[in-house]
Amino acid sequence: MADMLTEALKELALANRIAANEGVVDTFGHVSMRHPGNANRYFLSRSSAPDMVTAQGLIEYDLDSRPVRDPGVPQYSERVIHGEIYKARPDVMSVCHHHSASFMPLIAVGADYVPIFHLASVGGIRPPYWDQHDEFGDTNLLVVKPEEGASLARALGQHSMVLMRRHGVTVVGANVRVCVYSAIQTCRNAEYLVRAMAIGGTIASLSRGETELCGDVVGKTTGVARSWNSWTLRAAKAGGAIPAPKNGRPRATVRRKPARHKRK
C-alpha cells in the first residue's frame, strides 16, 4: 500500500505540472486527489505554482480541509473547494480548479458551454454556473469558507464541471488522469467555441445522445492513457516532468546549460 500511495502522489504532482504545461492552470489553480486508501482524506499541494508541485510538497487533509499534521508551509486558501466536493460527491476521486483564459469570455457573458467536438463531451452540455454573490454578497471572489465550498459543491451537483462567475472553473473526475483529461479537453473546446461564436451562425454542438455516447468511450478505450503519455512527454520536453529517480524519491527535471570549455 505504501508503494501504491507513493506512486499515486507522484502522479498527482505530475498532474499539476501537465495541467500547467497544457495551459489549464498558470500561477494559480490546483489539482487534488482523494486518498486512495482513505475516502475521508485528500491530498493537495502546499501553496505553490502548479508547475513547481512536487510529491514532497503534497499535504494530507481531512474532508473539512484541515491538515492531518502541521505542514509547516503555506497552504492554498481555496482548499475548501476540494474538501467540500469530496464530502458531497463520494464518486469523485480528483478535482481541478482553474482560471483558464479559454473559458473567461464565456464566463464574462454567462454563455452556455456546449461540446462542439467529440473529445469535449466530458464536460457535458450546459454545465451549471455558480455565482458566489448570490449567496454571500460582495466577497474577494476567493472560495475560502466551508460554507462557500459547500455552496459550490451543491451547484456542481452530479455534473462533471461547474463554471464560476467572475472567477473560473472547477472540474471533477473518477481519477486523476480522467480529471486532467477533462480539464484539458474542455478548455480546448471553450477556446473553439468562443472562436465559433465570433464567426457567427449556428453552433453545431453535440446532441445529448452523442455527448453521452462519446463520454462513455472515455473509460473504455486507451484515449486517456494515450493522452496522459503524450502530455507527460510534452511536459518532460518543457522541463516540467518528474522522472522516476534511482533513489525512489521523485525529483524535478532541471535543465542544465551545456558546459563551456575554457580556451587554452
- Domain containing 38 equals 2-237
Number of domains in the chain: 1
Residue 245 in any domain: the answer is no
Q: Coil, helix or strand for 219?
A: coil
Distance CA 223, CA 122 (A): 12
Residue 254: inside a domain? no
Q: Is residue 264 part of a domain?
A: no
Q: Would 49 be classed as within a structural domain?
A: yes
How much is the average pLDDT of 122-127?
Answer: 95
Query: Which pLDDT band, with edges at 50, 70 and 90, does 220 fall under?
Result: confident
DSSP annotation string for 159-207 = -SEEEETTTEEEEEESSHHHHHHHHHHHHHHHHHHHHHHHH-S---PPP
- The per-residue pLDDT for range 103-124, each reduced to its tens digit, is 999 999 999 999 999 999 999 9
Which residue in 11, 22, 78, 148 is the catalytic one? 78
Q: Exposure of 82 by Cβ count < 10 A (0-12 exposed, 13-18 middle, 19+ buried)?
A: buried
- 22: in domain: yes
What pLDDT does 222 receive? 86
Q: Is 135 a catalytic residue?
A: no
Q: List, for residues 27-39, the tens digit of each pLDDT value.
A: 999 999 999 999 9
pLDDT of residue 216: 83
Q: Report the chain's mean pLDDT, rounded to a whole number.
A: 91
Instruction: Determine, yes or no, domain membership for 210.
Output: yes
Q: For position 95, which CATH number holds?
A: 3.40.225.10
CA pair distance 219, 122, nearest whole angstrom: 11
pTM of structure: 0.88
Q: Above 70 in pLDDT, residue 7?
A: yes
Tell me the percentage of the chain whose pLDDT exceeds 90: 84
Output the 3-class SS for 42-92: EEEEECCCHHHCCHHHEEEEECCCCECCCCCCCECCCCHHHHHHHHHCCCC
Look up residue 211 and give its three cell numbers. 455527448
Q: Is the pLDDT assigned to residue 261 strictly greater than 50?
A: no
Asked if residue 247 has pLDDT above 60, the reply is no
Asked whether residue 54 is assigned to any structural domain, the reply reads yes
- The whole-number pLDDT of residue 239 equals 82
